Structure 1
Amino acid sequence: MKEFGSAPEGIELRKWTDWMAMDASADFTYSREMHQLRDIGSEKIPILSLLKYLFVRPSVLASFSEVLKTNEEALESRIKRRGNVEHLDHFEALLPANAPAPTQKEKTHIGIITGHLVIAGYEPIASQIYSTIIFSLLEPTCLDYLVKEIRMAFRKYDDIQIKDLGSLQYIHASLMETLRITVLQSSGQPRVSPGATVDGHHVPKGVTVSYAFLAFTRDSRYFHDAHSYRPQHWLPEGHPLWDPAQGPRPCPGLPLAWQETRLFLAKVLWQFDAEMLPN
């Protein structure tokens, strides 16, 4: 970022957050080194599973046999390295070192699961980081608060560690507000009706129901100033910027995702001044 970001045209943040998140997700899932950040470019075949068709370029799909071959080689490589990787990954839980050699059917099944894990650790993380920075840039006061909190918390860049980021309240509030205002999915998690009446309408037992994410998170009954980016929604009462009109609301989040997004934001915004460029 130092080398390329200092040029007049700057860098395309969407690409860099994609590269970082995909590199991390592939490493977390099955210890695969994709080196997108190192090589400053996207790997042609990013995931294992049939869902790859949603994420790769049409030119890649033209050579379907090459896609299958590369994915199969990546899976076989991780199977051979069981018990001999630098760190634990999700694959270790799917096929531990002491497990019997998988059948071809089991390999296919594991390949699909790892593909899902790669996607889950890639796109939502990349979008969360990118969107938090973009919304903060669009609300300069929010960016000022965020940068000030990060730079006051750490004397030098190398001091920024995951264990120290959980106590930073404004970075947490910014990430939570981005989860609310950025629609990464069309609906909430589905539930099966036990047989109930909702708003005067009977929902029979067994019917799958969910809520509309966009409508819910922008409903003024639940969020003050619901159409604006307001990290104050998530600040605790003792924070200097706490606003009683905003109020906290619950939102799910996984520990690994919190650590990854906090660390990226803290390191990038400690190191750099961010600004929008024309076009």
Structure 2
Amino acid sequence: MAPLQAASSLNWALIGVVLVVSVIVGKAIYNVFLHPLRSYPGPFLWKLFPLARWIRFSHGDLPFYMRELHTKYGPVVRIAPNELAFCHPQAWKDIYGHRSGGAPELPKYEYFYRAVDNIPRGILNAHRDEHAALRRQLSHGFSERSMQLQEPIIGSYVDLLVRRLQEQCQGGAVGLNMREWLNWTTFDVIGDLAFGSSFDCLEKSDYHPWVKLVANSVQQTAAMHVLAGMGLRPLIRALLKMTRLAITDNQKLVAAKLQQRIELGVERPDFLEAFIKKKEAGEMGFWQIAANAMILIVAGSETTATLLSGALFLLTTNPDKLEKLTQEVRSSFNNDDEITLSSVSRLSYMLACLNESLRMYPPVPTGMPRQSPKGGCFILGKFVPEDTVVAVWQYSVNHNPNFWTEPDSFAPERFMGDPKFKNDQLDAMQPFSVGPRNCIGRNMAYAEMRLILARIIYNFDMVIADDSRDWVKIQKAYTLWKKPALNIHMKPVVR
């Protein structure tokens, strides 16, 4: 009987293998020849299964490769069985903007914005009605009046940054890792504006544990997106319970910092004041506030520091542009006290340099995915079936020669009406997105970036270190950049 039982087991195993192979082959045939997206161009293997797309994403070079795909296939590329990537100015409006007839905007793709599904929703991943309510509460902290009240807070940390850099350079020109100094500054600022106290990064010239966690979580968050996109959310929950991931430690530090802010018991012109009042009125829970605070920390610090790092790299590798900006800054002010959040708004070339840095080195180089609504929708004039994942990929659209003259050249003049760049489509670049879910902190980000960059340029001459000349080329890009050291020789200006 034993041989018969073994043969029977083998037969069942073979039947199982045949069934699995049949399902896989059948799914592949459906995805290529019968799927509603079959008419959209894209790499053959990527149409078969989503695994090919996720493997490329995990390598950290998908935003760069996406540029090649758009060059080959055009403004719309099918990058997974159920996902389309867009590269066109109109796609920003069609995907992220207000829709005609009062129809709601395209919903956010759940598996991207909420890879970890057992924590409260924040403003980044809340549903439409909840998002509108959260945005109303946060808008007070980003109002013009609040920014005026926040200016002494922001200015104090920029003062400290300049002092600490000058201390480092007492012997003359010194090579400094400016990625660190910019990270420390923006985290200290957002710490105070969100929680009533800084992280003391500038004071100690070192990373607060939380800042390190945010940096370390970039790749971990990318892995979470891969697992969630493959339908493996239960595995994510298990990993968070079984291992010490930076994401878990991040939540604990947010909770501790938030509790300190609540215990201050005083009214402040910061971002969480309205939320805390809601909590006191019993309309908002502690962990819901914590979820929003975590988003504010990353969105209000990491992205700002990333853009400033990119701006310093691009300026120091284009000395003629740096010289022109230096002339504008140093001829506009007589001393540091004159450089304020309001006065820096007059620096037109400064704004052009920041915009060109946003184009060439967007802090979020990937696509921020939405999902086509029930009944489908039209994007770029072509029907997209319901539940299709869609996004504009920022790095690709920002470097597309169809929309930009000399897209790989750092040319702030393109944002100042230079005739050479008259055919540039400036609306192709939307670093703060568009529509009802655009970035609420846009004005704050521009003001903070201008102030920090103006104070650095007013007080220091800069030369890029040889070991950082390929700074962008060696980076990995997930949802955010994984940035190496940015070494720049800083020499204090003698007045």
Give TM-score scaled by structure 2 length. 0.48
CA contact (8 A) 2:368 2:393 kept: no
Q: Does structure 1 residue 130 correspond to structure 2 residue 315?
A: no
Q: Root-mean-square deviation (CA), in Å? A: 3.1
1:200 CA drift (Å): 8.4
CA contact (8 A) 1:28 1:89 kept: yes
**Structure 1: distance between partners of 2:246 and 2:378:** 52
Aligned counterpart in structure 2 of residue 269 of structure 1, from 457, 462, 466: 457
- Residue identity matched to 1:256: M
Which residue number corresponds to residue 154 of structure 1? 333
Quickly say closer, same or farther: Cα 1:38–1:162, change in 2 above 3 A.
same
Q: Which has the higher contact order (CA 8 A, sep 6+)?
A: 2
Identity rate of aligned residues, in percent?
Answer: 22
CA contact (8 A) 1:136 1:143 kept: yes
Higher strand content, 1 or 2? 2
1:169-218 CA deviation, whole Å, 9 max, x = no partner? 10000000111111432434444436345578641134331122222111
- Residue identity matched to 1:11: L
Which residue number corresponds to residue 25 of structure 1? 190
- Residue identity matched to 1:154: F
Instruction: Give the unaligned 5+ runs of structure 2.
Output: 1-164, 221-243, 433-441, 468-495
Which residue number corresponds to residue 289 of structure 2? 110
1:94 CA drift (Å): 1.3
CA contact (8 A) 2:254 2:293 kept: no
Match of 2:192, SS state, is helix
**Structure 2: distance between partners of 1:64 and 1:212:** 25
Higher helix content, 1 or 2? 2
**Structure 1: distance between partners of 2:199 and 2:380:** 50
Aligned residues: 265
Which residue number corresponds to residue 400 of structure 2? 219
Aligned counterpart in structure 2 of residue 243 of structure 1, from 419, 433, 452: 419
Q: Which aligned pairs between 1:190-205 and structure 2 lie closer than 5 A?
A: 190-193=369-372, 195-196=376-377, 202-205=383-386
1:123-180 CA deviation, whole Å, 9 max, x = no partner? 1100111111110111111101111110111111221111111121100000001111
Aligned counterpart in structure 1 of residue 217 of structure 2, from 40, 44, 54: 54
Quickly say closer, same or farther: Cα 1:100–1:53, change in 2 above 3 A.
farther
Q: Which aligned pairs between 1:6-85 and structure 2 lie closer than 5 A?
A: 6-7=170-171, 9-46=174-211, 54=217, 61=244, 70-82=253-265, 84-85=266-267
1:70 CA drift (Å): 4.9
Of structures 1 and 2, the larger Rg is shown by: 2
1:47 CA drift (Å): 9.1
1:275 CA drift (Å): 0.8
- Residue identity matched to 1:79: I
**Structure 2: distance between partners of 1:63 and 1:208:** 28
Which residue number corresponds to residue 168 of structure 2? 4
Match of 2:408, SS state, is coil
